[in-house]
């Protein structure tokens, strides 16, 4: 099958999932075409059946905002015709499903029928999509998709609650490639991050307001009052500077490291003892899953899809959004007891294996077959 994948090429969850899915599909014999404005960060070397097509947006002074949707839909039409692509899989409703629908309409004028699968990831629904400016376009894009999937039951429920959706939505959870998670890193390298008697607490995100970065700092502040610990912050975003200000204000700057964006996520996580994710909303919690597969227990909020990933009292603990005191207390209950920490680390890994890519990819292949049925 020749599949066109449209996604954001960034470090965010939707881009990572789309890229990993494409690479896994290519290993199962499918020809994959990534169509986006730059090469996705997780995309390994292009191979004989993985292709990347760059969307160029010409700069015109006439446009205050350059029309990416127009450039994308035109590129989709050209790529689909040139490579005889069978199916389009778009990740994120806006602008990808919208551009995909326009491409479908243009191709139909030329007698070419191409089905479109849309995967909803979260902020396209909870933040962008629910804005009055975008709501009609998001509703339209979802309803005009041939098949719609969602990364969690929670996100499906939110989509049906906030939008007038006529399509059935199938839940296919995010996944992780377990085969890539065998850690060759030696224990001595942990010394680069912390002393032997210090626990390593980690947070990885896009540092947006929804991630409640100040809560991460406050939870760690309470933890380090009782045990020796280091906080490692990975990622870039608008809340980085306010987090640094809070760290300085609390007088814990020597215990906190800001690493920026990194491709060494597994190396950092294999050193970690605890992962913090106190988000305001989280459609799935891919960052939590990546931590868990590396044997890191998770302290998180109980919002959105997080309870579907992080099992309370088993792989970590769930608390109400903003309950910094309880999150710190739960974190300490894991970190203070070495025996307990070992159990939680093992459980986190066991829980994560349920989301192995090899169990999830066939579900997408079934969806593709379903989408192609009317075309055959």
Q: Quick one: how far is CA 17 from the chain centroid?
A: 6
pLDDT at 188: 45
pLDDT at 121: 85
Alpha carbon of 144 to those of 149, 165, 261: distances in Å? Answer: 13, 10, 36
Spatial distance between the Cα atoms of 102 and 69, rounded to a whole number of angstroms: 9
CB atoms closer than 10 angstroms to residue 181: 18
What is the DSSP secondary structure assignment for residue 191, as one 8-state letter?
Answer: G
Q: Percent of the chain beyond pLDDT 90? A: 68
Question: What are the start-end ranges of the E strands in 79-198?
Answer: 87-91, 116-120, 147-150, 169-171
Enumerate the domain spans of the chain. Answer: 2-175+356-372, 178-355
Ranges 259-263, 284-288, 293-297, most confident: 293-297
Backbone angles phi, psi at 98, to 5 degrees: -65, -50
pLDDT at 99 over 80: yes
Nearest to 301 by CA among 154, 130, 178, 174: 154
Q: What is the pLDDT of residues 186-220, one digit of tens each?
A: 554 777 788 889 999 999 999 999 999 999 999 99
pLDDT at 357 over 60: yes
- The answer to whether the bond into 177 is cis (omega within 30° of 0) is no
Residue scoring higher pLDDT (264 or 46): 264
Q: What is the pLDDT of residues 235-277, one digit of tens each?
A: 999 999 999 999 999 999 999 999 998 878 888 898 899 999 9
Kindly state the average pLDDT of the residues 316-326. Answer: 98
Chain mean pLDDT for the chain: 90
Cβ atoms of 343 and 284 closer than 8 Å: no
Q: What is the CATH number of domain 2-175+356-372?
A: 3.40.50.2000
> pLDDT confidence of 43, banded at 50, 70, 90?
confident
Spatial distance between the Cα atoms of 24 and 1, rounded to a whole number of angstroms: 13
pLDDT at 28 over 50: yes
> pLDDT confidence of 153, banded at 50, 70, 90?
very high
Do domains 2-175+356-372 and 178-355 share one topology? The answer is yes
Kindly state the average pLDDT of the residues 284-307. Answer: 94
Nearest to 221 by CA among 183, 195, 199, 250: 250
pLDDT at 48: 77
Q: What is the pLDDT of residues 55-70, one digit of tens each?
A: 988 787 777 677 888 8
Q: In CATH, what is the architecture of 178-355?
A: 3-Layer(aba) Sandwich (3.40)
CB atoms closer than 10 angstroms to residue 230: 22
């Amino acid at each position: 099958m020749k599949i066109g994948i449209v996604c954001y090429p960034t470090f965010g969850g939707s881009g990572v999932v789309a890229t990993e899915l494409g690479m896994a599909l290519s290993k199962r014999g499918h020809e994959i075409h990534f169509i986006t404005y730059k090469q996705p960060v997780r995309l390994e070397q292009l191979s004989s059946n993985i292709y990347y097509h760059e969307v160029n947006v010409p700069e015109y002074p006439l446009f205050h905002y350059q029309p990416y949707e127009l450039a994308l839909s035109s590129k989709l039409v050209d790529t689909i015709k040139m490579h005889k692509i069978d199916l389009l899989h778009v990740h994120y409703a806006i602008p990808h499903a919208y551009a995909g629908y326009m491409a479908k309409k243009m191709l139909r004028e030329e007698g070419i029928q191409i089905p479109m699968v849309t995967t909803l990831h979260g902020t396209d629904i909870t933040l962008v999509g629910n804005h009055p400016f975008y709501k009609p376009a998001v509703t339209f894009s979802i309803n005009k998709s041939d098949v719609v999937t969602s990364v969690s039951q929670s996100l499906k429920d939110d989509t049906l609650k906030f939008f007038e959706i006529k399509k059935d939505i199938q839940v296919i959870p995010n996944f992780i490639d377990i085969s890539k998670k065998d850690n060759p890193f030696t224990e001595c390298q942990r010394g680069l991050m912390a002393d032997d008697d210090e626990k390593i607490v980690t947070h990885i995100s896009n540092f947006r307001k929804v991630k409640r970065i100040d809560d991460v700092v406050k939870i760690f502040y309470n933890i380090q009052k009782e045990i020796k610990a280091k906080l490692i912050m990975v990622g870039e975003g608008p809340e980085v500077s306010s987090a640094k200000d809070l760290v300085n204000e609390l007088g814990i700057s020597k215990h906190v490291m800001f690493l920026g964006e990194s491709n060494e996520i597994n190396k950092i996580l294999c050193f970690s003892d605890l992962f913090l994710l106190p988000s305001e909303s989280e459609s799935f919690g891919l960052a939590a899953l990546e931590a868990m597969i590396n044997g890191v227990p998770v302290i998180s909020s109980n919002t959105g899809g997080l309870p579907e990933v992080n099992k309370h009292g088993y792989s970590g603990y769930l608390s109400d959004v903003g309950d910094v005191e309880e999150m710190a207390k739960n974190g300490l209950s894991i970190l203070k007891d070495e025996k307990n920490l070992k159990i939680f680390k093992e459980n986190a890994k066991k829980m994560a294996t349920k989301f192995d890519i090899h169990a999830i990819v066939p579900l997408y292949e079934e969806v593709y077959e379903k989408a192609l049925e009317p075309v055959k």
